Structure 1
Amino acid sequence: MTTGTTELTPRDHPVLDDSVRVDGGVVRILDRRVFPERVEWVEAADAEQVAAAITAMVTQSSGPLFAAYAGLELTALQVRELPLAAAAERMRVAGTALENARPTNNHPREAVEHVLAAIAPATTTPALVEAAVEAARAGARSYRDRSHRLGVETVALLGDGARVLTHCWMDTYLIELVRAAREAGKRFEWVATETRPYLQGARLTSHTLAEFGERVTLITDGMGAAALAPGSTLGRVDALVTAADRVSLDGSVVNKVGTLGLAVAASAFDVPFYALVQAPDLAAPTADDIAVEERDPAEVLHTLGRRTASTLVTEAWYPAFDVTPARFVTRIVTDRGAFEPATVGESYYGAAAR
């Protein structure tokens, strides 16, 4: 992988809305580890390098989905001269690397399954390449469309002027939620946690909301319960709204670590918690069926590449996600509606059948 730098310039759309590109025979991924202080692009020459970038947290949230689609598109372009069987095998190997890049984030696996299913009927290499490229591009478009529908469903639950607390970086969900609010004639006030140890809330969420012209107040991770408590000098928080990396069929929400504590505090103070996901995971009947990724504990001892813990401290713990039981969640908001957590699986897939 290589890294390039560009200048940050004003845009009509948030910079992070276009953070993965197939360009000049490489996949270019905006490095969210250093954004917005620096705008640098990591260049990946093959799917394995894309997977390594996902694992290294170059991109997070919805970013791995767009990166996986881009990695598969690049792989398809690279197998144009291979015999059909060899081309198909290379696509499979590339898919395996991508879907294993982050065990809890389900997006790469969804992208891989979508593209590999699309190329299965191909009887020639050119047909395989065409099917893979179209499936990758259509999959990315579909994700944005579904995210906008999810935003519309979320906006319907929030009153105009609501103060919303969010945690970590919701990526496309957040961007489309703000757009849906504008379409509905609503504006919200935002409170964002900084989100240790990568500070996605401080660097990505708050920056993107500010780009939109939204009013956003930044708090540290330890201030969430105080913000939710009655009588806070911040003012009443009307809702806790986060993305969900995964939702099991029993309504358990797996999201960035820290979500559980906020959900418990919100429940204690009668603040509704809305968790956003396009669809519950059919492969996960319960949260026990979802692997919760644990990252290198050394990452807790550092912040943005600089050691912030005492040099005398050698022990740390870093589960990247936590599990919020359904009883602490008010609604699971999907692209098909907002459902009671305990019955979200039946409700969501039943809605598809009707």
Structure 2
Amino acid sequence: MSGPVLAASVRYAADGAVEILDRRVYPFEVSWVRCATSEDVAVAIERMVTQSSGPLFAATAGMVLGAREARHDGPEQAAARLRAVGARLVATRPTNNHIRDAVHAVLAATVDRSGEGPPAGDELVEAVEAAARAHEDGYRARSAALGRHAAGLLDDGTRVLTHCWADAFLIATVEAARAAGKRLEFVCTETRPYLQGARLTAATLVEMGYRPTVITDGMVAAALSDGLADVALTAADRVTLDGHVINKVGTLGVALAARAFGVPFYALIDAPDPQAPTAADVVIERRDGDEVLHALGTRTAAEGVTGYYPAFDVTPPHLVTRIVTERGAYHPNNVKESL
């Protein structure tokens, strides 16, 4: 049986272009956005064609396209071009460090490798393709390990509240729970303004054989008060060394409600960010407020209304029960020990 559709949402076309599954319209449409250049990939990431861990795979593919674009440059010129492509990709979404880490991994293995001059031509393309595959495989392995640790925190029959789309982390957790003979139940927030929870999380869980319940973002406290879920489980776009969880806006509200009603709150991340000692070291992306005035392409607010859209919020350590990484489940105050 093949995995969920969203587990493989970036692919190469026969002619070498990159195709990215358009998560803005999935599951109502299975549409692929064609990217012929590295700049096309950057624009697709900015426009939310892909989200969560999707930008990691888009970034590695963008670096491959960048190497192909530099195929006829000399070594130093090719290196400079590839670094510029990387910088452009990193700038697209500053809060989640998946893109940054993917770009740095590719550069470190190719044009910035120590003791050797930068490759060029076909050698550069082959080196970047190999580095991209290695980084992607490493991420999948880390996600699988994380999923096993997360599943270990869940009993058979646990009712899990999710917020937004946890992507590979959630898929790995569900697969690990299933392998351990545990059957879970799910409640998913719809997650405004792109409805990732209703469209991506819920659709993927249905694909994996579950029948999740969808609630609006404003129903979390009521749902927990009514006993609809036993744990809250979200991904984290970034975790700081002092245990702050940065994730899709609304996560802080989930954590507050969970604390109020005695529900454990677990955050999933492959590892905390060694470059972010505190929350002050993380840039919180501010998106165009007009995005919250629309749902699925239709305006939902009157003309003359303005919107406000911090795409992420920060949940302090005292609201987090455990942070689950590839190396285990840690108290937020000790999460830096997982590095």
Q: TM-score range by the shorter chain?
A: over 0.9
Tell me the secondary structure at the aligned position of residue 132 of structure 2.
Answer: helix
CA distance in 1, matches of 2:164, 2:310: 14
What letter is aligned with 1:189? E
Which residue of the partner structure matches residue 144 of structure 1? 140
Superposed CA deviations along residues 181-228 of structure 1, whole A, max 9, x for unmatched, are 121111110000000010001100000000000131111111111111
Following TM superposition, by how much is the alpha carbon of 1:77 offset from its aligned partner in structure 2, in angstroms?
A: 2.7
What letter is aligned with 2:97? N
Which residue of the partner structure matches residue 257 of structure 1? 249
Which residue of the partner structure matches residue 179 of structure 2? 183
In the alignment, which of 58, 77, 81 is matched to residue 86 of structure 1? 77
What root-mean-square deviation, in Å, do the aligned CA atoms of Structure 1 and Structure 2 show?
1.2
Which residue of the partner structure matches residue 168 of structure 2? 172
- 2:152 corresponds to 1:156: yes
What is the TM-score when the length of structure 2 is the normalising length? Answer: 0.96
Question: Which runs of 5 or more residues in structure 2 are unaligned?
Answer: none
Q: Please say which of residues 34-43 and 162-171 is displaced more in the overlay.
A: 34-43
Q: Please say which of residues 74-83 and 147-156 is displaced more in the overlay.
A: 74-83
- 2:261 corresponds to 1:269: yes
Which residue of the partner structure matches residue 222 of structure 2? 226
Which residue of the partner structure matches residue 240 of structure 2? 248
What letter is aligned with 2:11? R
CA distance in 1, matches of 2:65, 2:182: 40
Tell me the secondary structure at the aligned position of residue 258 of structure 2.
Answer: helix
Which residue of the partner structure matches residue 26 of structure 1? 17
Superposed CA deviations along residues 128-183 of structure 1, whole A, max 9, x for unmatched, are 32221101011111111100100000000010110000000011111111111121
Which residue of the partner structure matches residue 352 of structure 1? none
CA distance in 2, matches of 1:183, 1:73: 35
Tell me the secondary structure at the aligned position of residue 271 of structure 2.
Answer: coil
Following TM superposition, by how much is the alpha carbon of 1:82 offset from its aligned partner in structure 2, in angstroms?
A: 2.1
Following TM superposition, by how much is the alpha carbon of 1:236 offset from its aligned partner in structure 2, in angstroms?
A: 4.4
CA distance in 1, matches of 2:81, 2:187: 45
Give every structure 1 segment of 4 or more consecutive aligned residues whose post-TM-superposition deviation is greater than 6 Å: none
Which residue of the partner structure matches residue 32 of structure 2? 41
Tell me the secondary structure at the aligned position of residue 31 of structure 2.
Answer: strand
CA distance in 2, matches of 1:173, 1:115: 23
Which residue of the partner structure matches residue 306 of structure 2? 315
What letter is aligned with 2:315? T
Aligned residues: 333
Q: CA contact under 8 A between 1:22 and 1:74: conserved in structure 2? A: no
What is the TM-score when the length of structure 1 is the normalising length? Answer: 0.92
Superposed CA deviations along residues 208-263 of structure 1, whole A, max 9, x for unmatched, are 0000001311111111111111xx1xx44111000000001110000000000110
CA distance in 2, matches of 1:96, 1:260: 30
CA distance in 1, matches of 2:16, 2:88: 19
Which residue of the partner structure matches residue 99 of structure 1? 90
What letter is aligned with 2:61? A
Q: CA contact under 8 A between 1:243 and 1:255: conserved in structure 2? A: yes
Following TM superposition, by how much is the alpha carbon of 1:13 offset from its aligned partner in structure 2, in angstroms?
A: 1.8
What letter is aligned with 1:310? A
Identity of matched residues, %: 59
Tell me the secondary structure at the aligned position of residue 129 of structure 2.
Answer: helix
Following TM superposition, by how much is the alpha carbon of 1:87 offset from its aligned partner in structure 2, in angstroms?
A: 1.4
